[in-house]
Amino acid sequence: MILVTGGAGFIGSNFVLDWLATSDETVVNLDLLTYAGNLANLCSLQEDPHHIFVRGDVCDQTFVSELLERYKPRAIVHMAAESHVDRSIHGPGAFIRTNINGTFSMLEAARAYWSSLSGNRREEFRFLHMSTDEVYGTLGKDDPAFTEDTPYQPNSPYAASKAASDHLVRSYHHTYGLPTLTTNCSNNYGPYHFPEKLIPLVIVNALAGKSLPVYGDGQQVRDWLFVSDHCAAIRTVLANGRPGETYNVGGWNERTNLEVVQTLCDILDRLKPRARGSYREQITFVTDRPGHDRRYAIDARKIERELGWKPDETFDSGIERTVRWYLENEHWVKQVQSGAYLTWLDKNYTQRATENCT
């Protein structure tokens, strides 16, 4: 079996669902169920004996060690994290705790467990650490895309906490020989994406007749990857990645934020037209994110060349699938819009000075 951390979050639940759809190897899913974790994402697995959910904290090293002793996984896929840049600006403490201290305690527990293994089990054990392209900082318009050799220049507390965790993982391989794998991925999108992030926020706000907040001039560029493609990349790296290596994962889909928002409006205009006018009329430019990175772009040639992974989904097909999923899953959307979500919207958006899009 494998141990996944953060498997009730956006990427985590997609990963667990994809894993169990393609393999009968059991997943032990360790998740604290913070505001971002949602067991409803996994309700189709309720009767599946290959899914063992454990509520717990990755910072609790004793608890993690007990889990490892009890289940004896052949691999750990560590993706539990605080993941939202805007939240890291409002309150960095949780990011330091979960992303840095949490990764440290996962590494310590993994090192002790791995040291106790022998023979093939020791040889084949892997610790896969899921990270982000944000550790590399920001690019100018014509700069080449991030490679695995691009120096780290994290700009937000979130990115800095992920960079720190990447360094810890690297050091555990270098110093102790722990068989680690690190992936640095670009922006994911798809089903079960919590509506604090751009794409689901815009879909949910559009349907509710609310404004669609675009930070600054909307010309920041992100490289978008459909979440199932990321899950396939993780399976590939876990199976065939070389211990100690890092792999960049991306979709070759660079878009400005304004383009993304306009695309979402156009799809909604077609699939669920407003009584009058276009959803584009709801676009509102708001005060920029402090320290906002201008452009991310991933050079994913290493994983393609060495491991044969390539994304299947184009941005056009993936974004349409995503919008359709949100239209078909109104119940899920309602359920995640709890009081805590409304408090967050108030904190992040009410204070921003707004000016209408012309």
User: Which residues contact ligand DAU by CB under 6 A?
Assistant: 83-85, 132-134, 186-187, 197-198, 201, 213-215, 220, 222, 257, 289, 296
Q: Using the minimum distance from each CB to ligand NAD, give the nearer residue, 80 or 323.
A: 80
CA distance 82 to 340: 16
- Tell which one of 2, 42, 85, 185 touches ligand NAD (CB under 6 A): 185
Is position 12 an interface residue for ligand NAD (rule: CB under 6 A)?
yes
Q: How far is the CB of 79 from ligand NAD (least distance, A)?
A: 4
Using only C-alpha atoms, the chain has a radius of gyration, in whole angstroms, of 20
Q: Which of residues 13-32 bind ligand NAD (CB under 6 A)?
A: 31-32
158 given a catalytic annotation:
yes
Question: Residue 64: which of ligand NAD, ligand DAU, none does it interact with, CB under 5 to 8 A by kind?
Answer: none
Report whether 139 contacts 296 (CB < 8 A): yes
Q: Which of 31, 57, 82, 134 is catalytic?
A: 134
CA distance 264 to 248: 27
Q: Annotate each residue in 61-100 with x if it binds ligand NAD (CB under 6 A) or - if it does not, as one string.
A: ------------------xxx-x--------------x--
Pairing, β 212-215 against β 283-286: parallel
Q: How far is the CB of 119 from ligand DAU (least distance, A)?
A: 37
Spatial strand order of the sheet with 246-249 comes to: 51-55, 27-31, 2-5, 75-78, 126-132, 180-185, 246-249
Is position 348 an interface residue for ligand NAD (rule: CB under 6 A)?
no
Q: Using the minimum distance from each CB to ligand NAD, give the nearer residue, 185 or 237.
A: 185
CA distance 18 to 156: 31
Is position 9 an interface residue for ligand NAD (rule: CB under 6 A)?
yes
133 given a catalytic annotation:
yes
Question: Residue 201: which of ligand DAU, ligand NAD, none does it interact with, CB under 5 to 8 A by kind?
Answer: ligand DAU
Task: Count residues near ligand NAD (CB under 6 A).
Answer: 29
CA distance 30 to 42: 13
Neighbouring residues of 149: CB distance < 8 A, sequence distance ≥ 6 = none
Neighbouring residues of 341: CB distance < 8 A, sequence distance ≥ 6 = 35, 195, 196
Report whether 318 contacts 244 (CB < 8 A): no
What are the structure tokens assigned to 142, written together?
A: 């014509």
- Tell which one of 188, 205, 263, 322 touches ligand NAD (CB under 6 A): 188
Q: Using the minimum distance from each CB to ligand NAD, give the nearer residue, 188 or 282.
A: 188
Neighbouring residues of 305: CB distance < 8 A, sequence distance ≥ 6 = none
Question: Residue 222: which of ligand DAU, ligand NAD, none does it interact with, CB under 5 to 8 A by kind?
Answer: ligand DAU
Pairing, β 283-286 against β 354-356: antiparallel
Q: Which amino acid is at 341?
A: Y
Catalytic residue positions, numbered: 133-134, 158
Q: Which residues bind ligand NAD (CB under 6 A)?
A: 5-6, 8-12, 31-34, 36-37, 57-59, 79-81, 83, 98, 102, 130, 132, 162, 185, 187-188, 194
